[in-house]
Amino acid sequence: MSRIGKHAVAVPAGVTVQVNGQEVTAKGPKGALAVRVVDDLDVALADGKVSVKPRTTSRRARMMWGMQRTLVSNLVKGVSTGFKVDLEINGVGYRANVQGPNLVLQLGYSHEIVYPIPEGIEIKVEKQTAISISGADKQRVGQIAAEIRSYRGPEPYKGKGIKYATETILRKEGKKK
């Protein structure tokens, strides 16, 4: 039995949710998103709450129950408040800035890295060493943050590179004589 799946997803004010068969669509101040729930589960909207229940007691239905409920929850939260990931840049001469529809990164390479900002995603650079990525779709926000981080991941000796703001880098000791 899924402990997460048992709880219904509350729909906040300002968000409209429609359930059409296995398709769940949500519209809110941050945009509109849709997710398709697997066929082993039933989705119902009642009293301002979306509930996900398994149709059978099969192993697949039990495995998918909690995950699909979480996808619906992320859908509702994304269109109401959105998701945000913060990145930090460490290193001498490493910096970022937004130029028009592109994020320009200088990460110690012989060239600048130009990352085009996708539609529906907002990237802000408050300081030259802090990047804030926000949007309605949790998966896309996380994927874009991972792509930007992959250009120069943090290294364990000096801590240089791009890291998540919540990430802790385990530092290693350098060479000894």
**β-strand partners of 43:** 52
DSSP 111: S
In the listed set 35, 58, 80, which residue is the last one of a domain according to the structure? Answer: 80
Hunting for tokens 């429609």 — which residue is that?
A: 18
Q: Are residues 138 and 151 in the same domain?
A: yes
> Quick check: 57 pLDDT over 90?
no
Q: What is the extent of the structural domain holding 139?
A: 83-164
Phi, psi (rounded to 5 degrees) for 50: -105, 125
Between the CA of residue 15 and those of 33, 40, 160, what are the distances in Å? 11, 26, 42
- What is the model's pTM? 0.86
Report residue 62's pLDDT band, with 50, 70 and 90 as the boundaries.
confident
Measured between alpha carbons, how far is residue 40 from residues 8, 53, 60, 82, 157 in Å? 17, 9, 7, 28, 49
Instruction: Look at residue 45 and tell me if it is in a domain.
Output: yes
With respect to residue 175, please indicate whether it lies within any of the assigned structural domains: no
Domain shared by 87 and 154, yes or no: yes
Other beta carbons less than 10 A from residue 36's beta carbon: 12
The CATH number assigned to the domain holding 114 equals 3.90.930.12
Q: Are residues 103 and 72 in the same domain?
A: no
Same domain, 157 and 92: yes
Tell me the three state secondary structure of residue 158: coil
Render pLDDT for 68-125 as a digit per residue (tens, 0 to 9). Answer: 999 999 999 999 999 999 999 998 999 999 999 999 999 988 999 999 999 989 999 9
Q: Is residue 18 part of a domain?
A: yes
Position 140 scores a pLDDT of 94
Tell me, rounded to whole angstroms, the distance of Cα 89 from its chain centroid: 19
Question: Among 57, 80, 103, where does a domain finish?
Answer: 80
- 145 and 88 share a domain? yes
Please check whether residue 170 lies inside any domain of the structure. no
CA distance 88 to 162: 6
Number of domains in the chain: 2
Q: Are residues 33 and 13 in the same domain?
A: yes
Convert 136-149 to b/e letters by CB count within 10 Å (16 or more is b).
Answer: bbbebbeebbeebb
Give the contacts of 36 (CB within 8 A, at least 6 positions apart): 22, 23, 24
Average pLDDT score, the chain: 91
pLDDT in tens, 11-37: 998 899 999 988 999 999 988 999 999
Same domain, 104 and 159: yes
Q: Do 28 and 96 share a domain, yes or no? A: no
What tokens appear for 71 in the block?
């996808």
